Structure 1
Amino acid sequence: MRITRPSTIRTIRRVRGTAAPVVLASCVALALAGCTGADTGPAAPDASPASSASEPASEPAAVAASAGGDWSATAAQVAPSVVSISVRTSQGGGAGSGVIIDEQGHVVTNHHVIAGATEGGQILVTLADERVFEASVLGSDQASDLAVLEIADAPADLTPIEVADSDELVVGEPVMAVGNPLGLSGTVTTGIVSALDRPVTAGSAEPSASGAQEPVVTNAIQTSAAINPGNSGGALVDANGQLVGINSSIAALGPESGNIGIGFAITSRQMRSVVDQILETGTVQHAYLGVGVGDVIVEVDGAQRWAAGVANVAPDGPAAQADLQEGDGILAIDDEAVDSALSLIAQIRERPVGTEVTLDIVRDGEAQEVTVTLAARP
């Protein structure tokens, strides 16, 4: 039996800033049945990924063992890796944050921070020591809301951030957000990891290069560290000062409200996958399962559970090759729970093309496992 899950309508906003200081009332907001959204407000400099976006650092430079640890040392460690981003176009301007990922001058930020500059306009990157450089968009991916900038004539003394494995995070772990919310440069806020694998859809869908609507869906880290307009593209770091996520959006009670203690960050796992592809090829491929799904309730071992229900299977796609069938209910992927269609989409998008995954499914009341190799989305 297929049951549609009642949706909770929240106002969600991205956290890009505007070029000039604004009040929260001017922020763009969107009511969505999801957990993220769009915001506008002043810029935010932030920390960045390690000198190689593909390999986590092995030795932390600073340790703040708990929420009561030495966060001042963590802030000092991360600050040089944080930049603020200012975008100037003929239609106006915007601002946000970015993270230095290598010594060659590559900076990670959110796609929505620089989207207005992709067809002309100027991007300025301001380092923590106030030096200002022009930058260009090396590559951008609206589906993951990530972009890579390249600083022109990058100085030799850049400080890339160290990158941790976001898969090692646990709920309750202390974290710090670094950025420039509402134009207040060098701001750091602390909190905890409130939830993991939080499926989030942020903002409205934008047309992709092919003209198709491309919704932003991420398998996000939820945090209580205060994130406000201007934090977009900034760093979420662990107690060792290592990057675990890219701050991207907040939940809000209305178009005029600010932080309410629910912020979201794109995982370093997904960031590394997208950034590596941009640096290598300039484009990004996304994983594809090849099913249409909806929210359903299935019965497992005498109990009812929410699942992602398979509504249809694309011919010759990965799911068809693995013999997934219409009516199957997907409960988990690689032992990570799936309780909705959005949850499954977020989990798939976080994984690289070619990944072999194990799906826990229910078919005709019987639990079983199916192994699928994810292909590149057509």
Structure 2
Amino acid sequence: MNNYSSGWDPDQPQPAATGPTPPGNPPAPTWYGSDPTGPQPITPPHGIRFGDQPSWPSNPAAAPGGGPATLTAPPGSRSPRRRLLELAMVGAVSAMLASGCTFAATQDRVAATNTLGTTTGQLPSTTARPVVQADGSAPDWVAVAKTVSPSVVAITISSGSRAVGQGSGVIVDAEGRIITNNHVVTAGSTRSGLSLTVTLDDKRTFDADIVGTDPATDLAVIKLKNAPNDLVPIALGNADELRVGEPVMAVGNPLGLAGTVTTGIVSALNRPVVTESDPSSSLDGARGERVVTNAVQTSAAINPGNSGGALVNASGQLVGINSAIASTQGSSGNIGIGFAIPVNEARSVSEQLIASGKARHAYLGVAPTTVVVQDGASKRAAVGIGRVYPDTPAANAGLRVDDAVIAVDAEAVDTADSLIAQIRERRVNQNVTLTIVRDGKRQEVKVSLAERPTS
């Protein structure tokens, strides 16, 4: 195992290189947030400050106009203090994990069948059938909601008799396993004695145990105790088949309003979104880290409490796990920019958590930077290699310092985080093709990814 002593881990971005920025880029954004569902402020790595848990309205539906109630800090608690985190592109907005409250987040640019479950980690076949749309241009969302809602649950996290967080989850097998977000089930807390209560669509409630958590991807799997025999597992789709502009529906438990459905479109694909994991969110005491997701961006309304819920296509197939939202500074509600973890990544991680309680992650072994390179007759944004660590996949493949990566398996990358997101969604031992620019000329480099070191 390598000992990286350069000041950052492999595949973590270096400080931005000096020099020209891509032409036409707007000013660097600022991103901020607060601790997911944790009632006490904490200071995670990198100096980002997390805030208090907002109070949950006792009757959310009583908000003006029937809309979501305003989230406020609990009486007597400290107001959230937010420190700004500067990044490389787009305008100033705030990204938040869509759980019971906000979370520090940054964003640097701002048909698989269901086989989840069993002790082997493979999710078993489900009897759920996709919704057949009579008119592809006008989805029957009533039919989709009827099909999907029984597969989406509300999750309440309690410490003793006090609820400390809320979120959503998706049933993926008949034995009662549920995919959700890590920040939902840990509630950003180091306290012992947390308990999970799951409420089904028909309002039955069950206690649940944690099967496994993965702070690196913000995913978790829980399992119902004494699961009933009439659960309805969701049908899994394929995020690789998504297209920008495609209609989607978000289903979850925003602000405690279980069974809420909202619709929109796929706004963007392969959107690198970065959230900051804090040490207290890891049940095994692992250090906090940057969670980089190659996210599905959607315009479907996602609000606090939607974390861990379903993003489905017009056929009622799961295409993403809702996890984060963006909002303007000073606002905590939906503005039509939500992010979901692609179902392919969620499936891969969940199967590992079911099999062993932990997930393995691929890595490349470089310190990436965002640069501008000469690519033939044109200049373009790219991912510069600031350092190649020895005895890593990158070193073994012959990557060099000052190489510039412009694509991974023909999918364009133009920032350090976009490269990290592409690598992290792939499996250990998977072979990838990097398109690089070296000395002004393009070439392809084959790399066999290895398991990311833990130290």
In the superposition, the TM-score normalised over structure 2's length comes to 0.76
8 A Cα contact 1:13 1:39, kept in partner? no
Tell me how far 1:37 sits from its aligned partner: 2.6
Q: 1:103 to 1:60 in 2, by over 3 A?
A: closer
Cα distance in 2 between the residues matched to 1:4 and 1:377:
32
What is the aligned residue count? Answer: 372
Alignment match of 1:9 (pick from 9, 30, 47)? 30
Which residue of structure 2 lines up, in the alignment, with residue 311 of structure 1? Answer: 386
Tell me how far 1:376 sits from its aligned partner: 0.2
Which residue of structure 2 lines up, in the alignment, with residue 147 of structure 1? Answer: 220
Q: Which amino acid aligns with 1:111?
A: N
Q: In structure 1, the residue corresponding to 2:147 is in which secondary structure?
A: helix
Q: 1:332 to 1:14 in 2, by over 3 A?
A: farther
Output one character per residue of 1:324-348: Cα deviation in whole Å (capped at 9) or x when no partner. 0000000000000000000000011
8 A Cα contact 1:15 1:41, kept in partner? yes
Which residue of structure 2 lines up, in the alignment, with residue 94 of structure 1? Answer: 165
Q: Which amino acid aligns with 2:452?
A: R
Alignment match of 1:294 (pick from 343, 349, 369)? 369
Gaps of 5+ in 2: 1-16, 22-26, 38-52, 58-68, 74-78, 88-93, 102-112
8 A Cα contact 2:99 2:184, kept in partner? no
Tell me how far 1:151 sits from its aligned partner: 0.5
Q: Taking every aligned residue pair, what percent have the same amino acid on both sides?
A: 49
Cα distance in 2 between the residues matched to 1:340 and 1:226:
27
Q: Which amino acid aligns with 2:28?
A: S
8 A Cα contact 1:227 1:250, kept in partner? yes
Q: Which amino acid aligns with 2:147?
A: Q
Q: Structure 1 residues 244-253 or 91-100, which shifts more? A: 91-100
Output one character per residue of 1:290-344: Cα deviation in whole Å (capped at 9) or x when no partner. 0011111111121111111100011010000000000000000000000000000
Q: Which amino acid aligns with 2:153?
A: V
Q: Structure 1 residues 5-14 or 83-92, which shifts more? A: 5-14
Matched, 1:71 2:141: yes
Which residue of structure 1 lines up, in the alignment, with residue 343 of structure 2? Answer: 268
Q: Which amino acid aligns with 1:36?
A: A
Cα distance in 2 between the residues matched to 1:127 and 1:18:
24
Q: 1:13 to 1:352 in 2, by over 3 A?
A: farther
Gaps of 5+ in 1: 43-48
Which residue of structure 2 lines up, in the alignment, with residue 180 of structure 1? Answer: 253
Cα distance in 1 between the residues matched to 2:167 and 2:114:
20
Matched, 1:121 2:194: yes
Matched, 1:199 2:275: no
Q: Which amino acid aligns with 2:201?
A: A
Larger-gyration structure (1/2)? 2
Q: 1:341 to 1:366 in 2, by over 3 A?
A: same
Which residue of structure 2 lines up, in the alignment, with residue 243 of structure 1? Answer: 318
Cα distance in 2 between the residues matched to 1:18 and 1:85:
17
When you count strand as a share of all residues, which structure comes out higher?
A: 1
Matched, 1:278 2:348: no
Tell me how far 1:214 sits from its aligned partner: 1.3
Cα distance in 1 between the residues matched to 2:84 and 2:274:
11
Cα distance in 2 between the residues matched to 1:66 and 1:190:
15
8 A Cα contact 1:14 1:232, kept in partner? no
Which residue of structure 1 lines up, in the alignment, with residue 130 of structure 2? Answer: 61
Cα distance in 2 between the residues matched to 1:87 and 1:337:
40
Tell me how far 1:146 sits from its aligned partner: 0.3
Q: CA RMSD in A?
A: 2.6
Matched, 1:158 2:231: yes
Cα distance in 2 between the residues matched to 1:57 and 1:214:
35
8 A Cα contact 2:237 2:319, kept in partner? yes
Q: Which amino acid aligns with 2:170?
A: V
Cα distance in 2 between the residues matched to 1:294 and 1:19:
40
Q: 1:66 to 1:24 in 2, by over 3 A?
A: farther
Which residue of structure 2 lines up, in the alignment, with residue 131 of structure 1? Answer: 204
Which residue of structure 2 lines up, in the alignment, with residue 37 of structure 1? Answer: 96
Q: 1:66 to 1:182 in 2, by over 3 A?
A: farther
Q: Structure 1 residues 261-270 or 4-13, which shifts more? A: 4-13
Q: Which amino acid aligns with 1:80?
A: P
Which residue of structure 1 lines up, in the alignment, with residue 71 of structure 2? Answer: 24
Which residue of structure 2 lines up, in the alignment, with residue 103 of structure 1? Answer: 174
In the superposition, the TM-score normalised over structure 1's length comes to 0.91
Tell me how far 1:4 sits from its aligned partner: 7.1
8 A Cα contact 2:98 2:323, kept in partner? no
Alignment match of 2:154 (pick from 58, 66, 84)? 84
Cα distance in 2 between the residues matched to 1:50 and 1:342:
30
